[in-house]
Amino acid sequence: MDRQEAIDFLLDHYENPRNQGEIEHPDVNLNGGNPGCADVITMQARFGEDGKVQEIAWDGTGCTISRAAASYVTEMVQGMSAEEIENVTFEDLMDQLGREIVMTRPTCATLALGTLKKGVHEFDMHQRADKADYSHHQ
């Protein structure tokens, strides 16, 4: 993707945000912010019985890059398991969003993904703990 394509891709997500809003009964529901700006991006996700993302949403305030990245992240992780999301890297995100653009505002570009990964990690840990607890009592 060249620079212009990357800019167009980013602006499209900014102007037509995907999965913006709220979902019911989220397994993951976490606010993320960056030092240095007052923006807060909320990431929500619910996993299905098969362990894969069933519904996902983002909402909040933020600059163009953080909002566009949040929108893209919700598309990028469709159908992924918690573990797969935890393994998504900022590199993966940059490959799509355009490295040069992202590197001008890295904390903004990675806010949504970082927040989602943190929320998913917490969810995953709780689930594992619940399972461990359960087998213990049998």
**Which residue ranges make up the site for ligand FES (CB under 6 A)?**
34, 36-37, 39, 62-63, 65-66, 105, 107-108, 111
CB of 122 to ligand FES, least distance (A): 22
Identify any residues that bridge with 81 across adjacent strands, giving them in sequence order: 52
Of 46 and 99, the one with the shorter C-beta distance to ligand FES is 99
Q: CA triplet 32, 29, 116: central angle to 5 degrees?
A: 55
* Biggest CA pair distance of the chain: 59
CB of 98 to ligand FES, least distance (A): 16
Of 53 and 113, the one with the shorter C-beta distance to ligand FES is 113
56-80: buried (b, 16+ CB within 10 Å) or exposed (e) per residue? Answer: bbbbbebbebbbbbbbbbbebbeeb
Of 12 and 39, the one with the shorter C-beta distance to ligand FES is 39
